[in-house]
Structures are given as C-alpha cells and as structure tokens.
Structure 1
C-alpha cells in the first residue's frame, strides 16, 4: 500500500510539473502577407445546392437532405490549399470493411478571403461615393 501511494504521488507530481508558453503569430508563421484580389478569386467559385446520393448517406455518415457548398474540383482550381483528403472506413457487410478516400473543403480557410473581399468592396464603394460627390459639384 505504501509503494502504491508513493507511485501515485510521483505520477501526480510529474503531471503537475509542466511549462506553458504563449506564442505569437510571428513566432508560428512565416511569409505573412495580405490577401489580395479576394473578390476576383471568390467570383470564380460556383456555389451549389445538392443532395448526397442515398446509397452513401448512411455508410459515409453524410447528411441527408439539401446541402449547400462547392464542387471540390472548382475550389481546388481556385484555392488548392483549402482541399484536404481524408479516409473514411465503413462497413460493407458483416465483418467486411471498405475505405473511401474523399476530398473536402476546409471552409474555415475561406473566412479570411471573405473578409478581404468585403474590405475590397467597401473600398470600392467609398471610391464610387467620392466620384459621385465630385460629379455633383
């Protein structure tokens, strides 16, 4: 019993001894640059409404019903860095498993591009307002 208590205390002590470190963007990232031409790039994307084929819904755990998104090939042509591949294992009978290799869009990666596009459009609006004001004079 004494040995168990000592071992538990030693393990607990090891877990509690740790070092945390705050790291900034500049320490973690390199080649940081602004997102340019975002509106033009987003204009190349073709949003789609679609439904997954019923035979894949259950096995690949895909949602049923109407979905919204983009075609993988379309996004891959414009933003190849946002395409991730993954393997999904599923049952295809009793004690028989298959694997499906699928690509998916990392949607969170579109957020900075969307923000950059909004900023570009806002800048265009301000320029057009200034031109209108100049024409009114």
Structure 2
C-alpha cells in the first residue's frame, strides 16, 4: 500500500505558506514541496492534502493511506463537514478527489511521525520568499 504524508505550514497566520508531501511507494520515497501564497496554516494544510491527492492520482496510485498531523483536516474529511466557510471549497475539492481512489484512508499521526512532510513544507516557504 502507498503511504502519503502531507503537511502545510505558514510563516505567520496568515503568512507565506508551503505544502510538503512525502510519498512511500514501492520501497522508494518521493518528495514534493510547493510554495503557496499568503494564507492561514489551516488553509495550507488543506492545500497540501489536495496536492497529495492530485499527485497520487496522476501517478496512478489508487490504494493510498494518507497521513496527517492536522486534526482539522482529519476531522473535516471524516465528518465531511467544516464550520469555517473559508475551508468549505477546499473540503469539497478534497472530497471529490478522494472518491477517485479504489481504497482511500486518512489517518491522523503525531507531528513527530510527519517530520519529512513538515520539513518539505518549511522548505517550500523558503522557496516562495
């Protein structure tokens, strides 16, 4: 099974942001980092998740376990609901993408287990400056 770790980060809240994705596939580790415009940390988390979903779909990975240290993203996907209207379009896009997988899992993990994605998200902020 493919494992995709993702994280979003902001330098300020809101501030310059970045998305980091680390994918374990076929014994290899793939790293991706994308600068994002100024936004909140929670928005960056959603953008990182959407990017991870899109990358996996582009690569043809259809059975994927996604890992996040974001309670907000994890709960929003689980309940298919978010209170804040700012996040609603991001949630809807993510849910649409999740339906394209044969098997989709999302698991909350502690931050210490998400260090690769966190480091990539912070690199992305620096790239964008």
Same fold (TM over 0.5): no
Indicate the TM-score class for this superposition, using the shorter chain for normalisation.
under 0.3
Higher relative contact order (CA closer than 8 Å, sequence separation 6+): 2
| Structure with more strand by fraction | 2
Larger radius of gyration: 1
TM-score, normalised relative to structure 2: 0.25
TM-score, normalised relative to structure 1: 0.24
